[in-house]
Each structure stands twice: as structure tokens, then as C-alpha cells.
Amino acid sequence: RAATYGRHQYEVFDIDQHRALVERLRMEQALRDALAHGDFLVQYQPEFDVHLGRWVGAEALVRWRQPERLLAAGEFIDVAEQSGLILPIGRYVLLQACRDACEWPAQHPPLTLRVNVSAQQFEAPGLVDDVATALEICGLDPGRLCLEVTETTLMHDTHDALRTMERLKAVGVELAVDDFGTGYSSLAYLKTFPIDAVKVDRSFIAGLPDERFDVALVTAIRELARALEIDVVAEGVERTEQRDALRALGVCRIQGWLYAPSLDQDVLLETLSRPPVGERPRHAPH
Ligand code: C2E
Ligand code: MG
Ligand code: MG
Ligand code: MG
């Protein structure tokens, strides 16, 4: 296609590619420095159950502390993955998150800690040991930890993925599929893999309550999940109408800016100590 614009287009392409490469290498080096200097931190975005009327867990999200501002994972996670730096970063997140989750208020059932695991981490030989070690060091009940993987991760090598999942289940942790619905042939995974929860991708929550497709998709996921006894979490919920639609469709677990963004541990602890504004506990905690 570039050829139709003449010979010089190739040069423009090359310059752009070169710039992108230089930028990537620069960020990769900065990530290395950040690891060495301890410039990563973990924030937590809580998850609320509208049926129970209480918080049910929180997701660990890595952040990069820079002099001017905090960078969200979405701004650097790709480079971390491409460079392999996600492995040490992921180990840090896992350990820190397990430590922090031990300080969360006790309740029954206990608050779930959700931790994201990239394809590379999932495929690395040390993952299961890292998880078991982190739980042991922190004294966190394995049943309180839920690892989130994407469908794409499971697609890479179904056989190995299944083995890894079975080993993780043997450790006692839960498993969730993140960004559910965005991958290829999602539903088949629920049959193949020992999955405890699915997180419906934000892109399907965005159109609620008006988009017919989104309503149909969420309904289908909820039906299937109910039959298979899998939890459904809606992510990226920003508006009350979305929340109301989800509640009407029988999806109770809600995560999104409507209730809370990602928070530092101390703010999270305050937040977890009472229901969000306008929400009341519907069942007294046992
Ligand atoms: P994710 O696991 O699907 O996380 C949800 C992302 O959506 C987060 O972005 C979160 O801050 C953002 N978000 C939450 N609520 C809302 C909302 O109401 N509206 C909108 N527009 N966005 C919302 P973040 O933190 O930039 O993370 C992006 C992705 O990076 C995550 O997607 C996850 O796949 C990955 N990630 C984050 N932390 C880690 C980590 O510690 N390890 C690994 N391997 N991946 C991570
Ligand atoms: Mg996630
Ligand atoms: Mg997600
Ligand atoms: Mg997502």
C-alpha cells in the first residue's frame, strides 16, 4: 500500500518504525531502572456485590511511580511483557498484594484478592512455585487468591495451560478469565478449564442498557455461568444505568469507577470499612 504513495513513503515508514523502536527501548530501560529503584507499587480496585450489599474483593493493579505522575498498567504493561520484565514485576505484585490482602478486614466469605497474570508469566515454569511461596510467606489462605488470565493466554497452548491450571487449583487458588468475550471462542474454555469466575470485558458493559447485543451477550454469559456455577464480574462499570441493568440481568458483582477507581492500600482499607455511598448492606454479614 505504501508503494502507491511513491518511493519516499517507505522512508517515512522506516522513520516511524525507528522512532517506535527507540521509544520502546527507552521505556524498557526505564522499566529496568524502576525495578531496581522500587518505583512500582500496587493499587487495588474493589469489587462490590449489589445483591449482598457489600464489598467482596479487590483487584491488584500495578502502577509505576514517576516524578510527575503515577502511570497506569495500560501505559507500560505491553513493553513489560515484550521485554520479559513482566516476570520480576509480576513476582513483586503477587507478593505485595498477598501481604496487603492479609490486612483487609475479615468477613465471611472472605474478601477475594484478584491478581492479573500475563501469558508470559502463566507460561513461565516458576509461576506455581511463586504463587505457593507468596501465599506461604504471607500466610494468606490460598482460597482468597484468584488469578486472572485472558482467553488469549489459554489459547496459546491449551494442553500446557490446562496442566498449569490444574497445578494452581491443587495449590488451592481460584482462577478467573479476564476480558471475557474479547478472545476467540470463549465459551469452549469454560468446558476445558477449571474456571471459577469470568470478568465480562468493559467493552460489553459500555453499551448497557441500550445496546441489544451487549444485553444479549451479558444474559448469555450469566446463564451459562449460572449453570456451571461460575461467578460473573462486570468490569468497567461507570454509570448507575449500567449497574441497574446488570442487577436486572442477575450480574451482582460490579467493579468500576462507579464505585471506586484503583486505590492505595490505606484508602482501600477505609473504603472497605463501609458500603459505597447510596448502597446499604442487604444481608447482615454472618
Ligand atoms: P484489566 O485486568 O482488565 O484491568 C482493568 C483496567 O481497567 C485497569 O486498567 C483499570 O484501572 C481500568 N478500569 C477500572 N475501572 C474502570 C472503569 O470504570 N472505566 C474504565 N474506562 N477503566 C476502568 P490498568 O490498571 O491500566 O490495567 C490495564 C491492564 O493491565 C489490566 O487490564 C491487566 O490486564 C494489566 N495489568 C494490570 N496490573 C497488572 C499486573 O500486576 N500484572 C499483570 N500481568 N498485568 C496487569
Ligand atoms: Mg484484571
Ligand atoms: Mg479485564
Ligand atoms: Mg480489560
Residues 235, 214 contacting (CB under 8 angstroms): no
Check: complex ipTM more than 0.90: yes
**Which ligand is the nearest neighbour of the Cα of 59?**
2
Residue 235 alpha carbon, nearest atom of ligand 1? 15
Name the residue of 95, 116, 179 whose CB sits within 8 Å of the most ligand 1 atoms, as the mutation to test its pocket: 116
- The pTM for the full model equals 0.93
DSSP code at position 177: E
What does residue 122 show for φ and ψ, rounded to 5 degrees?
-65, -35
pLDDT in tens, 213-270: 999 999 999 999 999 999 999 999 999 999 999 999 999 999 999 999 999 999 999 9
What does the DSSP assignment read for 22-86?
A: HHHHHHHHHHHHHHHHT-EEEEEEEEEETTTTEEEEEEEEEEEE-SS-EEEGGGTHHHHHHHTTH
**Ligand 1 pocket by Cβ (under 6 Å):** 45, 60-62, 72-74, 77, 86, 90, 93, 116-118, 121, 148, 178-179, 202, 235-238, 256-257, 262
Residues 6+ apart with CB under 8 A from 199: 148, 176, 177, 178, 179, 180, 232, 233, 234, 235, 255
pLDDT in tens, 18-61: 888 899 999 999 999 999 999 999 999 999 999 999 999 999 99
